[in-house]
Amino acid sequence: MREYTLKRYHERRSEAIALLGGKCMVCGSTTTLEIDHVERNLKTMNVDRMAWVSRERFLRELENCQVLCKPHHIDKTREEMSVPHGGGAAGRKNCSCGPCTVKRREYARTYKAARAGKSHIPRAAPLERLKTLHGTRKGYMIELRLGIPRCSACKKANADYTMDLKERART
């Protein structure tokens, strides 16, 4: 059985490559050829499944295919899968440029808010938040993070919070 399936797969693959021209559409190479779908969104099956469908369906699927050598197939797929810097839902994957970092942070905030069942409201800049949180422990933490001198009201709020924590720990 294994020999039959392997033979049928290789026959269909060779036939597909021959029907599609037998050489890379980009460089004309005849080595390491692969079958590529021209339009990904019109793809109805993976190439490895083509050996097991009817001839009509096989030929219909080949209408949306081309032959590329392995390096050009990798390049085309990489180009199709990538997004511009700062684009997509969360920027480019593993990119640390400014626009992608901002996009990834915004995506993470929205995702976390959705998981918590809240709608995401963008945060104000730290100095703007400090105006509304002055005299609280959060105000103290913003002052600390920004490296600005802590005011006495925020220091007192932080000391009260710390004392309350210690009291709860004792009981």
Which pLDDT score is estimated for 121?
65
How confident is the model over 27-70, as pLDDT tens digits?
999 999 999 999 988 888 888 888 889 999 999 999 999 999 99
pTM above 0.85, yes or no: no
Look at the chain and report how many structural domains it folds into: 3
Paired tokens of 34 = 């692969």
Containing domain of residue 108, as a range? Answer: 85-122
Which pLDDT score is estimated for 83?
79
How confident is the model over 81-134, as pLDDT tens digits?
877 887 877 888 788 888 888 888 888 888 888 888 776 666 778 888 888 888
Which pLDDT score is estimated for 92?
80
Q: How far is CA 26 from CA 67, 69, 78, 115, 141, in A?
A: 9, 8, 16, 46, 58
CA 39 – CA 89 distance, rounded (Å): 22
Paired tokens of 150 = 């802590």
Q: Which residues of 116-132 are buried (b: 16+ CB within 10 A; e: fewer)?
A: eeeeeeeeeeeeeebee
Which pLDDT score is estimated for 157?
92
Which pLDDT score is estimated for 124?
77
Are residues 20 and 58 both part of a single domain? yes
Q: At what angle do helices 2-19 and 55-62 cross, to 10 degrees?
A: 40
Which pLDDT score is estimated for 119?
65
Last residue of a domain, one of 20, 49, 81: 81
Are residues 163 and 148 both part of a single domain? yes
Are residues 57 and 74 both part of a single domain? yes
pLDDT of 26 above 90: yes
Are residues 106 and 70 both part of a single domain? no
